[in-house]
Chains A and B, each alone.
Chain A
Amino acid sequence: GENVEQHPSTLSVQEGDSAVIKCTYSDSASNYFPWYKQELGKRPQLIIDIRSNVGEKKDQRIAVTLNKTAKHFSLHITETQPEDSAVYFCAASKGSNYQLIWGAGTKLIIKP
């Protein structure tokens, strides 16, 4: 079955700097890769997603890149702000049933 690995588990960056979180997946048939942000005690919320027919997608300060050959995808956050502090999860899925397989999460800490 699918396995998703996420690194690093904790990332601390200075406010204003960029943050990069990386995920690898094992199933080459996976075709949908969302990123979720979860604040402490809150529900996960989708921040960006990418499908396998696209190599890169941007939304303001957030971007996701996908390398299907290497089976990895990354989240890039530029000009980080204190409100970016949260746990970020990557996930992968295939087919129409949307059975997401999640990474273990990255705790992003933005230092003032």
Chain B
Amino acid sequence: ETGVTQSPTHLIKTRGQQVTLRCSSQSGHNTVSWYQQALGQGPQFIFQYYREEENGRGNFPPRFSGLQFPNYSSELNVNALELDDSALYLCASRRHQNTEAFFGQGTRLTVV
């Protein structure tokens, strides 16, 4: 059983650009959540996908969007990047909505 993998591990973007982060969920997991973790802070929930549908969203603007694919892998897209978007972006998958979450190692995004 493979774990949750995220790509890329590190990324540098310029303010105003767009970025796509990718997450491969653990085998058999149909629920994927994304989190933003600023330096020294706890992760903040962005949104969650269950069977390709968004079924939960945190307090993030619409320029944060996502997708889940039939194989349950997922993408996080951020448009019009701002300096404050610099953070560690974490993906977590679960077998279904009421079980423990398994997190990936994260993607470190730096916006300059």
Does B bind A? no
**Interface residues of B, Cβ cutoff 8 Å to A:** none
**Interface residues of A, Cβ cutoff 8 Å to B:** none
